[in-house]
């Protein structure tokens, strides 16, 4: 009897889609910041190495935030030490000048600031008002640029906020542009709690373009809470966006937004892009293997449909049989 094999997606390009996109991997940062158990630093380092080896062009490694606010990433300096030269090209989150000083000491070359489109989340995530966040970021970005660092800016709660409800597009554009204009090279639009839908994505991108931003300056950061991340990516592709944040195995969430669950899984994204004939340079099977390996350390299977489809048996073994059955 023939053994069933994985049937590859039939490549069927769609007119007016980009030929190539950049996947900005956030698993080691957005994924692991939300884990209950502390993951050993050497395991994190090996996760980053495996993701780089799988061809991911950008792997965000960790955060230089207050260790009391995100204890899961309190080992940022040790992790960067373990990663050595490879780590210096991995972006890290930096909220303020103290975080920048810590990153500069280690020779980091790419940082990301992270602002909020809403008042409540600015308070909860940054301990600042919406306006005060700019006063915190301004000297941080200025000094980073003086040191020759590349700066990405995130804006969170672009589609909805668990405390404030729907967030007006105009408000997101105003905050996003203000963050970008501090001196960032890219603005990543975060659907932190995953409530966005495809039409909303198109409208938001259109509004940023009408406000003078290029689609090449924007990235999309989808969480998959309501299962909309791929549909939203498709809408963003049609709008011309060429950078997508994703997390290996679908790890993720935000400790300061309880309704945030996993990010769009890198494997789900690569599967769809492969089918569309869009180049990423990423080896799908290698990312999935890294996710299965990580699932083994976390003690539960990956939530990614593609990871499960590609390696159901090994995913179960790695994560333990009980975890695979949902226990
Ligand atoms: P604060 O308590 O207001 O800090 O926190 P402060 O400026 O008042 O300083 C208080 C003390 O903390 C001082 O020490 C500082 O030196 C120290 P003291 O003088 O009392 O001994 N301190 C620091 N120590 C180490 N590293 C630092 C640092 N900063 C101050 N960087 C702060 C303000 C911004 C630091 C805090 O709110 C914080 O760390 N927040 C981070 C929250 C976070 O990481 N959230 C998750 C990431 S965002 C996200 O996931 C969303 C995203 O994925 C996109 C999306 O999905 O939408 C990006
Ligand atoms: Mg996020």
Residue positions counted in the chain = 327
Return d(Cα 290, Cα 288) in angstroms, integer. Answer: 5
Between the CA of 128 and the centroid of ligand 1 the distance, in Å, is 10
**pLDDT over threshold 80, residue 103:** yes
Q: For the residues 104-125, what does the mean pLDDT come to?
A: 98
What Cα–Cα distance (Å) separates residue 46 from each residue in 53, 90, 118, 327? 10, 14, 36, 27
Q: Which of 65, 156, 160 to mutate to test the pocket of ligand 1 (most atoms within 8 A of CB)?
A: 65
| Cα angle value 55/59/64 (rounded, 5°) | 165
**pLDDT over threshold 60, residue 271:** yes
Return the CATH superfamily for domain 22-325.
Answer: Aldolase class I (3.20.20.70)
Over residues 289-302, the pLDDT tens digits come to 999 999 999 998 99
What Cα–Cα distance (Å) separates residue 289 from each residue in 30, 269, 276? 19, 15, 23
User: What pTM did the predictor assign?
Assistant: 0.95
**How is the chain split into domains, by residue range?**
22-325
Told to judge if 254 belongs to the known catalytic residues of this protein, a careful annotator would answer yes
Over residues 127-150, the pLDDT tens digits come to 999 999 999 999 999 999 999 999
**pLDDT over threshold 80, residue 315:** no
Least confident of 153-162, 241-250, 253-262, 299-308: 253-262
Token pair belonging to 35: 């884990």
Pocket of ligand 1 (CB under 6 A): 30, 33, 63-66, 69-70, 93, 95-96, 98-99, 102, 114, 125-127, 154, 156, 190, 192, 221, 223, 254, 256
Where do the H-state alpha helices sit in 127-168?
A: 130-146
Q: What percent of the chain has pLDDT over 70?
A: 93
Q: Report residues near ion ligand 2: CB below 5 Å.
A: 30
């Amino acid at each position: 009897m023939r053994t069933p094999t994985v049937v590859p997606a039939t490549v069927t390009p769609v007119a007016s889609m980009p030929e190539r996109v950049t996947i900005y991997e956030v698993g080691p940062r957005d994924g692991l910041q939300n884990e209950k158990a502390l993951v050993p630093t050497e395991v994190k380092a090996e996760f980053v190495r495996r993701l780089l080896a799988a061809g991911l062009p950008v792997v965000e490694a960790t955060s230089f935030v207050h260790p009391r606010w995100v204890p899961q990433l309190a080992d940022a300096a040790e992790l960067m030490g373990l990663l050595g030269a490879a780590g210096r090209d991995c972006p890290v989150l930096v909220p303020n000048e103290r975080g920048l000083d810590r990153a500069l000491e280690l020779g980091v070359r790419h940082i990301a600031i992270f602002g909020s489109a809403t008042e409540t989340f600015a308070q909860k995530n940054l301990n600042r008002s919406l306006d005060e966040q700019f006063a915190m970021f301004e000297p941080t970005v200025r000094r980073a640029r003086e040191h020759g660092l590349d700066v990405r800016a995130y804006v969170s709660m672009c589609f909805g906020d668990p405390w404030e409800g729907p967030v007006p597009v105009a408000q997101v554009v105003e905050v996003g542009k203000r963050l970008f204009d501090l001196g960032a090279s890219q603005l990543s639009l975060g659907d932190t709690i995953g409530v966005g839908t495809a039409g909303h994505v198109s409208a938001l991108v259109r509004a940023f373009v009408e406000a003078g931003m290029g689609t090449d300056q924007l990235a999309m950061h989808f969480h998959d809470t309501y299962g909309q991340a791929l549909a939203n990516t498709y809408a963003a592709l049609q709008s011309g966006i060429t950078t997508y944040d994703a997390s290996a195995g679908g790890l993720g969430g935000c400790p300061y937004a309880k309704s945030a669950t996993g990010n769009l899984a890198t494997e789900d994204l690569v599967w769809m892009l492969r089918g569309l004939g869009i180049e990423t340079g990423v080896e799908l099977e290698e990312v999935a293997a890294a996710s299965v390996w990580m699932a083994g350390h976390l003690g539960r299977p990956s939530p990614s449909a593609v990871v499960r489809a590609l390696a159901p048996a090994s995913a179960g073994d790695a994560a333990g049989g009980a975890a695979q059955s949902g226990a």
